[in-house]
Amino acid sequence: MDNQELIDLLDNLTPYFVSGLILLMVVIVVALARESKGGKMAYIVLSIALLVGTSGWIAKTLIQAFIKI
C-alpha cells in the first residue's frame, strides 16, 4: 500500500471515526448528567456544551456535502 492509498483510506474513514467519538461523548454527557444529580438543568447545559463543541464538524460535513467537495 503506497502513501496515496493510505491517505485515501484515512480520508474515507475519518467521518466514521469522528461520528463514533461524538456518540461516545453523548454517552459520557448522559452519564455525567445522571451522576451530577443536577436534574434537567444539568442535562440541558451539558447537552448544549456538546452541541457547541460538535456543531463545527457537523456544519463542515453539511457544507462539503452541499458543495460536493
47: cell is 447537552
* 8-state DSSP, 7: H
- The one-digit pLDDT tens for each residue of the chain (69 residues) are 788 998 889 888 988 998 899 899 889 888 888 888 878 888 888 888 888 888 888 888 889 889 976
Which residues are within 8 A (CB) of 56 and not within 5 positions of it... i.e. 6 or more apart? Answer: none
pTM greater than the 0.85 cutoff:
no
